[in-house]
Structure 1
Amino acid sequence: MIKLVATDMDGTFLDGRGNFDVSRLGAVLDKFDKAGIVFAVASGRSLLALEKMFQDFSERLVFIAENGNVVKLGNDVVFEASFTAPQYTEIAQILLESPYMNGYDFLLSGENGAYVHEKADSSYVEFISQYYENVQSVPDFSGLTDKIFKVTANFTEETVRQGESWVNQALPYVQAVTTGFKSIDIILRVVNKRTGLEQLCLQYNLDQTEVLAFGDNLNDYEMLDFAGVAIVPENARDEIKAISDKVIGSHEEEAVIAYMEGLVD
Protein backbone atom coordinates (compact mmCIF):
# COMPACT_ATOMS: atom_id res chain seq x y z
CA MET A 1 0.00 0.00 0.00
CA ILE A 2 1.25 3.49 -0.86
CA LYS A 3 2.02 5.59 2.23
CA LEU A 4 4.01 8.45 0.68
CA VAL A 5 3.19 10.33 -2.53
CA ALA A 6 5.81 12.76 -3.82
CA THR A 7 5.47 14.93 -6.87
CA ASP A 8 7.63 17.28 -8.87
CA MET A 9 6.06 20.65 -9.61
CA ASP A 10 6.90 22.27 -12.96
CA GLY A 11 5.89 20.12 -15.90
CA THR A 12 4.30 17.56 -13.59
CA PHE A 13 1.86 18.74 -10.91
CA LEU A 14 1.53 22.33 -12.12
CA ASP A 15 -0.09 23.26 -15.41
CA GLY A 16 1.68 25.29 -18.10
CA ARG A 17 0.87 28.52 -16.25
CA GLY A 18 2.38 27.25 -13.02
CA ASN A 19 -0.98 26.73 -11.29
CA PHE A 20 -2.88 23.93 -9.60
CA ASP A 21 -6.49 23.41 -8.53
CA VAL A 22 -6.60 24.38 -4.85
CA SER A 23 -10.00 22.82 -4.16
CA ARG A 24 -9.06 19.49 -5.76
CA LEU A 25 -5.85 19.29 -3.76
CA GLY A 26 -7.72 20.07 -0.55
CA ALA A 27 -10.18 17.26 -1.21
CA VAL A 28 -7.34 14.83 -2.00
CA LEU A 29 -5.49 15.75 1.18
CA ASP A 30 -8.65 15.10 3.21
CA LYS A 31 -8.70 11.58 1.81
CA PHE A 32 -4.94 11.15 2.20
CA ASP A 33 -5.23 12.10 5.87
CA LYS A 34 -7.86 9.44 6.45
CA ALA A 35 -5.83 6.84 4.56
CA GLY A 36 -2.59 7.71 6.36
CA ILE A 37 -0.82 8.87 3.19
CA VAL A 38 1.83 11.60 3.38
CA PHE A 39 1.95 14.12 0.51
CA ALA A 40 5.35 15.57 -0.39
CA VAL A 41 6.09 18.46 -2.71
CA ALA A 42 9.44 17.64 -4.36
CA SER A 43 10.82 20.50 -6.43
CA GLY A 44 13.88 22.35 -7.58
CA ARG A 45 12.16 25.52 -6.39
CA SER A 46 13.24 27.16 -3.15
CA LEU A 47 11.55 26.42 0.16
CA LEU A 48 10.41 30.05 0.35
CA ALA A 49 8.67 29.77 -3.02
CA LEU A 50 7.05 26.43 -2.22
CA GLU A 51 5.78 27.58 1.17
CA LYS A 52 4.17 30.58 -0.50
CA MET A 53 2.64 28.41 -3.23
CA PHE A 54 1.17 25.96 -0.71
CA GLN A 55 0.46 28.39 2.11
CA ASP A 56 -3.09 27.05 2.49
CA PHE A 57 -1.76 23.52 3.06
CA SER A 58 1.59 24.05 4.82
CA GLU A 59 0.60 22.00 7.86
CA ARG A 60 -0.75 19.14 5.76
CA LEU A 61 2.22 18.30 3.55
CA VAL A 62 5.99 18.05 3.61
CA PHE A 63 8.57 19.79 1.44
CA ILE A 64 11.54 18.49 -0.50
CA ALA A 65 12.95 21.76 -1.82
CA GLU A 66 16.02 22.78 -3.82
CA ASN A 67 16.18 19.36 -5.52
CA GLY A 68 16.62 17.58 -2.20
CA ASN A 69 18.87 20.05 -0.41
CA VAL A 70 16.16 21.03 2.09
CA VAL A 71 13.58 18.71 3.67
CA LYS A 72 10.97 20.23 5.98
CA LEU A 73 8.27 18.53 8.05
CA GLY A 74 5.91 20.93 9.77
CA ASN A 75 8.05 23.58 11.44
CA ASP A 76 11.20 21.46 11.42
CA VAL A 77 13.92 21.29 8.80
CA VAL A 78 15.09 17.67 9.13
CA PHE A 79 17.77 17.81 6.45
CA GLU A 80 19.73 20.45 4.58
CA ALA A 81 22.90 20.61 2.51
CA SER A 82 24.49 23.85 1.33
CA PHE A 83 27.54 25.07 -0.55
CA THR A 84 30.46 26.76 1.13
CA ALA A 85 31.23 30.32 0.04
CA PRO A 86 34.32 29.24 -1.94
CA GLN A 87 32.23 26.62 -3.71
CA TYR A 88 29.41 28.88 -4.89
CA THR A 89 31.79 31.64 -5.93
CA GLU A 90 33.76 29.07 -7.95
CA ILE A 91 30.55 27.83 -9.57
CA ALA A 92 29.67 31.38 -10.59
CA GLN A 93 33.11 31.84 -12.13
CA ILE A 94 32.89 28.54 -14.02
CA LEU A 95 29.52 29.56 -15.47
CA LEU A 96 30.97 32.86 -16.66
CA GLU A 97 33.78 30.95 -18.38
CA SER A 98 31.43 28.49 -20.08
CA PRO A 99 31.13 28.91 -23.87
CA TYR A 100 27.45 27.98 -23.53
CA MET A 101 26.55 30.60 -20.93
CA ASN A 102 24.79 33.81 -21.94
CA GLY A 103 26.26 36.48 -19.68
CA TYR A 104 24.95 36.38 -16.12
CA ASP A 105 21.87 34.22 -16.70
CA PHE A 106 22.19 32.38 -13.40
CA LEU A 107 20.93 32.68 -9.82
CA LEU A 108 22.07 31.54 -6.37
CA SER A 109 19.21 30.18 -4.27
CA GLY A 110 19.50 30.63 -0.52
CA GLU A 111 17.63 30.18 2.73
CA ASN A 112 16.43 33.78 2.97
CA GLY A 113 16.36 34.82 -0.67
CA ALA A 114 17.83 34.43 -4.13
CA TYR A 115 20.69 36.35 -5.66
CA VAL A 116 21.56 37.50 -9.18
CA HIS A 117 24.51 39.57 -10.31
CA GLU A 118 23.79 43.24 -10.93
CA LYS A 119 25.00 42.70 -14.51
CA ALA A 120 22.27 40.09 -15.13
CA ASP A 121 19.97 40.94 -18.01
CA SER A 122 16.67 42.42 -16.84
CA SER A 123 14.69 39.91 -18.90
CA TYR A 124 16.40 37.04 -17.10
CA VAL A 125 15.71 38.62 -13.70
CA GLU A 126 12.05 39.05 -14.64
CA PHE A 127 11.85 35.43 -15.81
CA ILE A 128 13.58 33.85 -12.82
CA SER A 129 11.59 35.94 -10.34
CA GLN A 130 8.54 33.86 -11.29
CA TYR A 131 10.15 30.89 -9.56
CA TYR A 132 12.08 32.41 -6.64
CA GLU A 133 11.17 34.70 -3.75
CA ASN A 134 13.07 37.78 -2.59
CA VAL A 135 15.34 37.99 -5.64
CA GLN A 136 18.14 40.49 -4.98
CA SER A 137 20.79 42.00 -7.27
CA VAL A 138 24.30 42.08 -5.81
CA PRO A 139 27.64 43.46 -7.13
CA ASP A 140 29.36 40.14 -6.42
CA PHE A 141 28.63 36.90 -4.57
CA SER A 142 31.57 36.88 -2.18
CA GLY A 143 29.79 39.04 0.39
CA LEU A 144 26.70 36.88 0.82
CA THR A 145 25.87 35.80 4.36
CA ASP A 146 22.96 33.53 3.42
CA LYS A 147 23.13 29.73 3.13
CA ILE A 148 23.28 28.88 -0.58
CA PHE A 149 21.66 25.56 -1.47
CA LYS A 150 21.70 25.65 -5.24
CA VAL A 151 22.74 27.53 -8.35
CA THR A 152 20.38 27.57 -11.33
CA ALA A 153 21.42 28.64 -14.83
CA ASN A 154 19.75 29.21 -18.19
CA PHE A 155 21.14 28.21 -21.56
CA THR A 156 19.18 27.53 -24.75
CA GLU A 157 17.27 24.37 -25.62
CA GLU A 158 20.04 23.53 -28.09
CA THR A 159 22.94 24.00 -25.63
CA VAL A 160 21.47 23.04 -22.26
CA ARG A 161 22.89 19.51 -22.25
CA GLN A 162 26.30 20.81 -23.32
CA GLY A 163 26.18 23.40 -20.56
CA GLU A 164 25.24 20.70 -18.08
CA SER A 165 28.18 18.53 -19.19
CA TRP A 166 30.58 21.49 -19.06
CA VAL A 167 29.78 22.16 -15.40
CA ASN A 168 29.97 18.49 -14.39
CA GLN A 169 33.39 18.12 -15.99
CA ALA A 170 34.73 21.34 -14.48
CA LEU A 171 33.53 20.80 -10.90
CA PRO A 172 33.77 17.28 -9.43
CA TYR A 173 31.86 18.15 -6.25
CA VAL A 174 28.65 19.22 -8.03
CA GLN A 175 25.91 17.59 -10.04
CA ALA A 176 24.40 19.74 -12.77
CA VAL A 177 21.10 18.39 -14.04
CA THR A 178 18.58 19.55 -16.61
CA THR A 179 15.36 20.78 -14.97
CA GLY A 180 13.59 22.32 -17.94
CA PHE A 181 14.18 22.52 -21.64
CA LYS A 182 16.78 25.28 -21.27
CA SER A 183 17.78 25.33 -17.61
CA ILE A 184 20.00 23.39 -15.23
CA ASP A 185 20.26 23.18 -11.46
CA ILE A 186 23.68 22.80 -9.85
CA ILE A 187 23.74 21.09 -6.46
CA LEU A 188 26.15 19.06 -4.38
CA ARG A 189 26.89 15.77 -6.14
CA VAL A 190 25.80 13.68 -3.14
CA VAL A 191 22.32 15.24 -2.99
CA ASN A 192 19.18 14.90 -5.17
CA LYS A 193 15.45 14.38 -4.76
CA ARG A 194 16.07 10.75 -3.81
CA THR A 195 17.92 12.09 -0.76
CA GLY A 196 14.71 13.82 0.26
CA LEU A 197 12.65 10.66 -0.14
CA GLU A 198 15.18 8.67 1.86
CA GLN A 199 14.94 11.21 4.68
CA LEU A 200 11.15 11.00 4.68
CA CYS A 201 11.23 7.21 4.72
CA LEU A 202 13.44 7.41 7.81
CA GLN A 203 11.14 9.94 9.47
CA TYR A 204 7.98 7.91 8.82
CA ASN A 205 9.55 4.43 9.01
CA LEU A 206 8.55 3.58 5.45
CA ASP A 207 9.97 1.19 2.89
CA GLN A 208 10.64 2.50 -0.61
CA THR A 209 8.00 0.10 -1.93
CA GLU A 210 5.44 2.28 -0.11
CA VAL A 211 6.50 5.37 -2.08
CA LEU A 212 4.85 6.66 -5.26
CA ALA A 213 6.55 9.49 -7.15
CA PHE A 214 5.65 11.70 -10.11
CA GLY A 215 8.20 13.52 -12.26
CA ASP A 216 8.99 14.64 -15.79
CA ASN A 217 12.61 15.74 -16.06
CA LEU A 218 16.18 14.65 -15.43
CA ASN A 219 16.30 16.14 -11.94
CA ASP A 220 13.53 13.65 -11.06
CA TYR A 221 15.46 10.61 -12.25
CA GLU A 222 16.88 9.44 -8.91
CA MET A 223 13.58 10.05 -7.11
CA LEU A 224 11.62 8.02 -9.64
CA ASP A 225 14.23 5.27 -9.66
CA PHE A 226 13.99 5.03 -5.85
CA ALA A 227 10.19 5.02 -5.59
CA GLY A 228 8.30 1.74 -5.53
CA VAL A 229 5.95 3.20 -8.15
CA ALA A 230 7.07 5.81 -10.71
CA ILE A 231 4.39 7.68 -12.69
CA VAL A 232 5.19 10.28 -15.35
CA PRO A 233 3.11 12.63 -17.52
CA GLU A 234 3.13 12.21 -21.29
CA ASN A 235 5.16 15.42 -21.63
CA ALA A 236 8.07 13.84 -19.69
CA ARG A 237 11.50 13.39 -21.28
CA ASP A 238 12.07 10.05 -22.96
CA GLU A 239 14.78 9.14 -20.44
CA ILE A 240 12.23 9.56 -17.65
CA LYS A 241 9.52 7.61 -19.43
CA ALA A 242 12.01 4.76 -19.81
CA ILE A 243 12.22 4.19 -16.04
CA SER A 244 8.54 4.77 -15.28
CA ASP A 245 5.90 2.24 -14.37
CA LYS A 246 3.16 4.17 -16.12
CA VAL A 247 2.74 7.18 -18.42
CA ILE A 248 -0.39 9.23 -17.81
CA GLY A 249 -1.84 12.36 -19.42
CA SER A 250 -0.15 15.73 -19.75
CA HIS A 251 0.48 18.17 -16.92
CA GLU A 252 -1.76 20.56 -18.88
CA GLU A 253 -4.63 18.13 -18.28
CA GLU A 254 -3.97 17.97 -14.50
CA ALA A 255 -3.24 14.28 -14.92
CA VAL A 256 -1.29 14.01 -11.67
CA ILE A 257 -4.05 15.30 -9.41
CA ALA A 258 -6.49 13.03 -11.26
CA TYR A 259 -4.23 10.04 -10.58
CA MET A 260 -3.97 11.02 -6.92
CA GLU A 261 -7.76 11.18 -6.71
CA GLY A 262 -7.89 7.64 -8.08
CA LEU A 263 -5.59 6.38 -5.34
CA VAL A 264 -8.15 7.12 -2.63
CA ASP A 265 -11.49 6.73 -4.42
Structure 2
Amino acid sequence: MTKIKMIATDVDGTFLNQQRQYDHDRFAQQLQRLQTAGIRFVVASGNHLGHLHQVFAPTPAVQTFVAENGSLIVDHGHTLFQTTIPLPVVREVVTAILADDTIRPQVLRLSGQHGTYINRTDQSNDPASQAYYFNNVVLVDDLTTVEDTIYKINGEWPNQTIQSLAAKLNAKFPQQIHAAASGFGSIDIIAPHMNKAIGVTQLAQAWQIAPSEIAAFGDNDNDLEMLRHVGFGVAMRNGTATVKQVANLITPTDNDHDGVLNVIDAILDQKV
Protein backbone atom coordinates (compact mmCIF):
# COMPACT_ATOMS: atom_id res chain seq x y z
CA MET A 1 0.00 0.00 0.00
CA THR A 2 1.13 3.57 -0.74
CA LYS A 3 2.53 5.30 2.33
CA ILE A 4 -0.27 7.03 4.18
CA LYS A 5 0.33 10.73 4.90
CA MET A 6 -3.14 11.72 6.10
CA ILE A 7 -5.93 10.01 8.07
CA ALA A 8 -9.45 11.44 7.99
CA THR A 9 -12.26 10.07 10.09
CA ASP A 10 -15.95 10.55 10.54
CA VAL A 11 -17.10 10.93 14.16
CA ASP A 12 -20.53 9.55 15.05
CA GLY A 13 -20.86 5.82 14.50
CA THR A 14 -17.21 5.74 13.45
CA PHE A 15 -14.65 7.26 15.80
CA LEU A 16 -17.04 7.47 18.76
CA ASN A 17 -18.71 4.48 20.37
CA GLN A 18 -22.42 4.30 21.13
CA GLN A 19 -21.80 6.16 24.39
CA ARG A 20 -20.22 8.99 22.33
CA GLN A 21 -16.82 8.33 23.85
CA TYR A 22 -13.34 7.24 22.71
CA ASP A 23 -10.21 5.99 24.48
CA HIS A 24 -8.51 9.29 25.26
CA ASP A 25 -5.21 7.87 26.48
CA ARG A 26 -4.79 5.40 23.65
CA PHE A 27 -5.66 8.00 21.04
CA ALA A 28 -3.29 10.58 22.56
CA GLN A 29 -0.47 8.05 22.23
CA GLN A 30 -1.48 7.36 18.62
CA LEU A 31 -1.40 11.08 17.83
CA GLN A 32 2.20 11.23 19.01
CA ARG A 33 3.08 8.25 16.83
CA LEU A 34 1.26 9.79 13.87
CA GLN A 35 3.18 13.04 14.27
CA THR A 36 6.48 11.16 14.43
CA ALA A 37 5.53 9.25 11.28
CA GLY A 38 4.57 12.46 9.45
CA ILE A 39 0.90 11.45 9.19
CA ARG A 40 -1.70 14.21 9.64
CA PHE A 41 -4.93 13.50 11.48
CA VAL A 42 -8.16 15.14 10.32
CA VAL A 43 -11.72 15.05 11.64
CA ALA A 44 -14.22 14.88 8.75
CA SER A 45 -17.77 15.27 10.04
CA GLY A 46 -21.21 16.56 9.22
CA ASN A 47 -21.30 18.26 12.62
CA HIS A 48 -20.75 21.94 13.24
CA LEU A 49 -17.34 23.13 14.39
CA GLY A 50 -18.27 24.06 17.95
CA HIS A 51 -19.55 20.56 18.65
CA LEU A 52 -16.38 18.99 17.22
CA HIS A 53 -14.23 21.17 19.47
CA GLN A 54 -16.17 19.82 22.44
CA VAL A 55 -15.83 16.20 21.33
CA PHE A 56 -12.06 16.44 20.93
CA ALA A 57 -11.36 18.71 23.90
CA PRO A 58 -9.78 15.78 25.81
CA THR A 59 -7.14 15.49 23.04
CA PRO A 60 -6.26 19.10 22.17
CA ALA A 61 -3.60 17.99 19.69
CA VAL A 62 -6.51 17.46 17.25
CA GLN A 63 -6.63 20.79 15.46
CA THR A 64 -7.83 20.11 11.92
CA PHE A 65 -11.52 19.84 11.12
CA VAL A 66 -13.44 19.27 7.91
CA ALA A 67 -16.82 20.25 9.36
CA GLU A 68 -20.33 20.55 7.91
CA ASN A 69 -19.69 17.67 5.46
CA GLY A 70 -16.77 19.52 3.88
CA SER A 71 -18.30 22.98 3.78
CA LEU A 72 -16.01 24.42 6.47
CA ILE A 73 -12.32 23.55 6.84
CA VAL A 74 -10.43 24.88 9.84
CA ASP A 75 -6.82 24.16 10.79
CA HIS A 76 -5.42 25.38 14.12
CA GLY A 77 -8.16 27.99 14.38
CA HIS A 78 -7.70 29.33 10.85
CA THR A 79 -10.47 28.95 8.28
CA LEU A 80 -8.85 27.59 5.12
CA PHE A 81 -11.93 26.98 2.96
CA GLN A 82 -15.67 27.46 3.25
CA THR A 83 -18.54 26.70 0.90
CA THR A 84 -21.93 28.16 1.75
CA ILE A 85 -25.49 27.84 0.50
CA PRO A 86 -26.64 31.22 -0.85
CA LEU A 87 -29.41 32.69 1.30
CA PRO A 88 -31.91 32.87 -1.61
CA VAL A 89 -31.42 29.13 -2.14
CA VAL A 90 -31.71 28.45 1.60
CA ARG A 91 -35.01 30.30 1.70
CA GLU A 92 -36.37 28.61 -1.41
CA VAL A 93 -35.47 25.13 -0.12
CA VAL A 94 -36.79 25.79 3.38
CA THR A 95 -40.06 27.20 2.06
CA ALA A 96 -40.59 24.25 -0.28
CA ILE A 97 -39.76 21.63 2.35
CA LEU A 98 -42.05 23.13 4.95
CA ALA A 99 -44.90 23.46 2.46
CA ASP A 100 -44.77 19.82 1.32
CA ASP A 101 -46.18 17.35 3.85
CA THR A 102 -44.45 14.45 2.05
CA ILE A 103 -41.00 15.82 2.85
CA ARG A 104 -41.60 18.08 5.84
CA PRO A 105 -39.33 17.00 8.72
CA GLN A 106 -40.08 16.92 12.41
CA VAL A 107 -37.30 19.47 12.92
CA LEU A 108 -35.52 21.64 10.35
CA ARG A 109 -32.28 23.42 11.24
CA LEU A 110 -29.94 25.91 9.58
CA SER A 111 -26.29 25.50 10.51
CA GLY A 112 -24.65 28.90 10.28
CA GLN A 113 -21.47 30.69 11.21
CA HIS A 114 -23.06 32.24 14.29
CA GLY A 115 -25.51 29.57 15.38
CA THR A 116 -27.79 26.66 14.61
CA TYR A 117 -31.22 28.11 13.87
CA ILE A 118 -34.38 26.19 14.76
CA ASN A 119 -38.01 27.24 14.56
CA ARG A 120 -39.15 27.64 18.14
CA THR A 121 -42.26 25.53 17.48
CA ASP A 122 -40.28 22.49 16.24
CA GLN A 123 -39.98 19.65 18.74
CA SER A 124 -37.15 17.15 18.36
CA ASN A 125 -37.92 13.46 18.71
CA ASP A 126 -34.81 13.24 20.91
CA PRO A 127 -34.23 16.51 22.84
CA ALA A 128 -31.18 15.09 24.64
CA SER A 129 -29.44 14.31 21.35
CA GLN A 130 -30.34 17.72 19.95
CA ALA A 131 -28.80 19.36 23.01
CA TYR A 132 -25.68 17.21 22.56
CA TYR A 133 -25.14 17.87 18.86
CA PHE A 134 -26.18 21.52 18.75
CA ASN A 135 -24.61 23.62 21.49
CA ASN A 136 -25.27 26.92 19.71
CA VAL A 137 -29.05 26.85 19.17
CA VAL A 138 -30.84 30.05 18.26
CA LEU A 139 -34.65 29.82 18.32
CA VAL A 140 -36.44 31.83 15.63
CA ASP A 141 -40.00 32.39 14.49
CA ASP A 142 -39.24 31.98 10.79
CA LEU A 143 -36.21 30.24 9.28
CA THR A 144 -36.57 32.25 6.08
CA THR A 145 -35.70 35.45 7.97
CA VAL A 146 -32.32 34.20 9.23
CA GLU A 147 -29.40 36.39 8.19
CA ASP A 148 -26.16 34.43 8.53
CA THR A 149 -23.58 32.51 6.56
CA ILE A 150 -25.27 29.11 6.12
CA TYR A 151 -23.19 25.99 5.64
CA LYS A 152 -25.88 23.36 5.93
CA ILE A 153 -29.60 22.66 6.25
CA ASN A 154 -30.31 19.69 8.51
CA GLY A 155 -33.57 17.84 8.93
CA GLU A 156 -34.85 15.22 11.34
CA TRP A 157 -37.09 12.52 9.87
CA PRO A 158 -37.23 9.82 12.57
CA ASN A 159 -39.93 7.69 10.95
CA GLN A 160 -38.83 7.61 7.31
CA THR A 161 -36.28 5.86 5.14
CA ILE A 162 -33.83 8.71 4.89
CA GLN A 163 -31.83 7.33 1.94
CA SER A 164 -34.85 7.47 -0.36
CA LEU A 165 -35.89 10.82 1.06
CA ALA A 166 -32.44 12.26 0.39
CA ALA A 167 -32.76 11.11 -3.23
CA LYS A 168 -36.17 12.78 -3.42
CA LEU A 169 -34.75 16.06 -2.10
CA ASN A 170 -31.91 15.98 -4.64
CA ALA A 171 -34.40 15.38 -7.45
CA LYS A 172 -36.62 18.22 -6.22
CA PHE A 173 -33.77 20.75 -6.09
CA PRO A 174 -31.34 19.79 -8.89
CA GLN A 175 -28.11 21.80 -9.07
CA GLN A 176 -29.16 23.72 -5.94
CA ILE A 177 -28.29 21.35 -3.11
CA HIS A 178 -26.68 18.04 -2.22
CA ALA A 179 -28.65 15.97 0.31
CA ALA A 180 -27.17 12.93 2.04
CA ALA A 181 -28.32 10.67 4.84
CA SER A 182 -26.13 11.19 7.89
CA GLY A 183 -27.68 8.58 10.15
CA PHE A 184 -29.99 8.61 13.16
CA GLY A 185 -32.96 9.77 11.05
CA SER A 186 -31.07 12.83 9.86
CA ILE A 187 -30.31 14.29 6.43
CA ASP A 188 -27.70 16.96 5.75
CA ILE A 189 -28.32 19.38 2.88
CA ILE A 190 -25.26 21.28 1.66
CA ALA A 191 -24.15 23.16 -1.43
CA PRO A 192 -24.38 21.24 -4.73
CA HIS A 193 -21.37 19.10 -5.63
CA MET A 194 -20.09 19.52 -2.06
CA ASN A 195 -19.22 16.56 0.16
CA LYS A 196 -16.54 15.31 2.52
CA ALA A 197 -14.38 14.16 -0.39
CA ILE A 198 -14.19 17.70 -1.76
CA GLY A 199 -13.32 19.09 1.66
CA VAL A 200 -10.66 16.47 2.35
CA THR A 201 -9.20 16.99 -1.13
CA GLN A 202 -8.95 20.77 -0.67
CA LEU A 203 -7.08 20.23 2.57
CA ALA A 204 -4.81 17.55 1.13
CA GLN A 205 -3.91 19.72 -1.84
CA ALA A 206 -2.91 22.52 0.54
CA TRP A 207 -0.57 20.03 2.19
CA GLN A 208 0.60 18.55 -1.13
CA ILE A 209 -0.83 15.15 -0.29
CA ALA A 210 -2.25 12.96 -3.07
CA PRO A 211 -5.58 11.11 -2.72
CA SER A 212 -3.67 7.82 -2.85
CA GLU A 213 -1.85 8.87 0.33
CA ILE A 214 -5.06 9.33 2.35
CA ALA A 215 -6.86 6.82 4.56
CA ALA A 216 -10.45 7.65 5.53
CA PHE A 217 -12.98 6.07 7.89
CA GLY A 218 -16.77 6.28 7.66
CA ASP A 219 -20.02 4.51 8.45
CA ASN A 220 -22.85 6.28 6.59
CA ASP A 221 -23.94 7.63 3.22
CA ASN A 222 -22.43 11.08 3.77
CA ASP A 223 -19.05 9.29 3.86
CA LEU A 224 -19.48 7.55 0.50
CA GLU A 225 -17.69 10.07 -1.70
CA MET A 226 -14.79 10.38 0.74
CA LEU A 227 -14.21 6.62 0.94
CA ARG A 228 -14.42 6.30 -2.84
CA HIS A 229 -11.96 9.13 -3.42
CA VAL A 230 -9.09 8.23 -1.11
CA GLY A 231 -6.45 5.58 -1.59
CA PHE A 232 -7.51 3.58 1.44
CA GLY A 233 -11.20 3.81 2.29
CA VAL A 234 -12.22 2.05 5.49
CA ALA A 235 -15.85 1.25 6.31
CA MET A 236 -16.93 0.50 9.82
CA ARG A 237 -18.13 -3.01 10.60
CA ASN A 238 -21.29 -1.32 11.90
CA GLY A 239 -21.61 0.82 8.77
CA THR A 240 -24.25 0.79 6.06
CA ALA A 241 -24.13 -1.72 3.23
CA THR A 242 -23.55 1.07 0.69
CA VAL A 243 -20.46 2.29 2.55
CA LYS A 244 -19.05 -1.22 2.84
CA GLN A 245 -19.47 -1.72 -0.92
CA VAL A 246 -17.08 1.13 -1.77
CA ALA A 247 -14.46 0.48 0.92
CA ASN A 248 -11.02 -1.07 0.56
CA LEU A 249 -11.31 -2.49 4.07
CA ILE A 250 -14.04 -3.17 6.62
CA THR A 251 -12.84 -2.71 10.18
CA PRO A 252 -12.41 -6.07 11.98
CA THR A 253 -14.15 -4.53 15.01
CA ASP A 254 -17.03 -2.06 15.24
CA ASN A 255 -17.15 1.42 16.75
CA ASP A 256 -17.93 -0.02 20.19
CA HIS A 257 -14.65 -1.97 20.08
CA ASP A 258 -12.13 0.68 18.93
CA GLY A 259 -12.58 -0.09 15.24
CA VAL A 260 -10.83 3.09 14.06
CA LEU A 261 -8.05 3.01 16.64
CA ASN A 262 -7.29 -0.63 15.84
CA VAL A 263 -6.85 0.12 12.12
CA ILE A 264 -4.76 3.23 12.89
CA ASP A 265 -2.41 0.95 14.86
CA ALA A 266 -2.30 -1.39 11.87
CA ILE A 267 -1.43 1.53 9.57
CA LEU A 268 1.32 2.70 11.93
CA ASP A 269 2.66 -0.84 12.20
CA GLN A 270 2.45 -1.24 8.41
CA LYS A 271 0.19 -4.28 8.74
CA VAL A 272 -2.41 -3.12 6.22
The question of 1:27 aligning with 2:29 is answered: yes
Provide the rounded CA distance (Å) in 1 between the counterparts of 2:69 and 2:119: 22
* Structure 1 residues 17-56: aligned runs within 5 Å: 17-56=19-58
Equivalent residues of 1:96, 1:104 under 8 A apart: no
In the TM superposition, what is the alpha-carbon distance from 1:124 to its structure 2 partner?
5.0
In the TM superposition, what is the alpha-carbon distance from 1:160 to its structure 2 partner?
1.6
Residues 121-170 of structure 1 deviation map (CA, whole Å, 9 limit, x = unaligned): 15455432221221121001233232110011111354323321221122
Equivalent residues of 1:104, 1:117 under 8 A apart: no
- 1:200: which partner in 2? 203
Which amino acid counterpart does residue 50 of structure 1 have in structure 2?
L
Moved more, 204-213 or 87-96: 87-96
Match of 2:263 among 243, 250, 259: 259
- 1:147: which partner in 2? 149
* TM norm structure 2: 0.91
Task: Give the total of aligned pairs.
Answer: 265
Which stretches in structure 2 are left out of the alignment for 5+ residues?
none
Equivalent residues of 1:48, 1:112 under 8 A apart: no
The question of 1:178 aligning with 2:181 is answered: yes
Provide the rounded CA distance (Å) in 2 between the counterparts of 1:61 and 1:93: 37
Which amino acid counterpart does residue 262 of structure 1 have in structure 2?
A
Provide the rounded CA distance (Å) in 2 between the counterparts of 1:8 and 1:71: 14
Equivalent residues of 2:5, 2:214 under 8 A apart: yes
* Structure 1 residues 115-264: aligned runs within 5 Å: 115-121=117-123, 123-156=125-158, 158-172=160-174, 173-248=176-251, 249-264=253-268
Which stretches in structure 1 are left out of the alignment for 5+ residues?
none
Moved more, 105-114 or 3-12: 105-114
- 1:68: which partner in 2? 70
Q: Secondary structure at the match of 1:120?
A: coil
Moved more, 3-12 or 130-139: 130-139
Which amino acid counterpart does residue 200 of structure 2 have in structure 1?
L
In the TM superposition, what is the alpha-carbon distance from 1:219 to its structure 2 partner?
0.4
* Cα distance change, pair 255–145 in 1 and its aligned pair in 2 (3 A): same
Match of 1:109 among 108, 111, 133: 111
Equivalent residues of 1:117, 1:140 under 8 A apart: yes
Provide the rounded CA distance (Å) in 2 between the counterparts of 1:155 and 1:16: 20
Which amino acid counterpart does residue 128 of structure 1 have in structure 2?
Q
Moved more, 117-126 or 165-174: 117-126
Which amino acid counterpart does residue 204 of structure 1 have in structure 2?
W
Equivalent residues of 2:106, 2:156 under 8 A apart: no
Residues 25-45 of structure 1 deviation map (CA, whole Å, 9 limit, x = unaligned): 111100011001000000000
Moved more, 191-200 or 135-144: 135-144
Provide the rounded CA distance (Å) in 1 between the counterparts of 2:11 and 2:133: 11
Equivalent residues of 2:97, 2:104 under 8 A apart: no
Compute the RMSD of aligned alpha carbons. 1.7
Which amino acid counterpart does residue 223 of structure 1 have in structure 2?
M
Residues 88-141 of structure 1 deviation map (CA, whole Å, 9 limit, x = unaligned): 122212221333445541211111210110110154554322212211210012
* TM norm structure 1: 0.94
Provide the rounded CA distance (Å) in 2 between the counterparts of 1:16 and 1:99: 32
Identical amino acids, percent of aligned pairs: 30
- 2:4: which partner in 1? 2
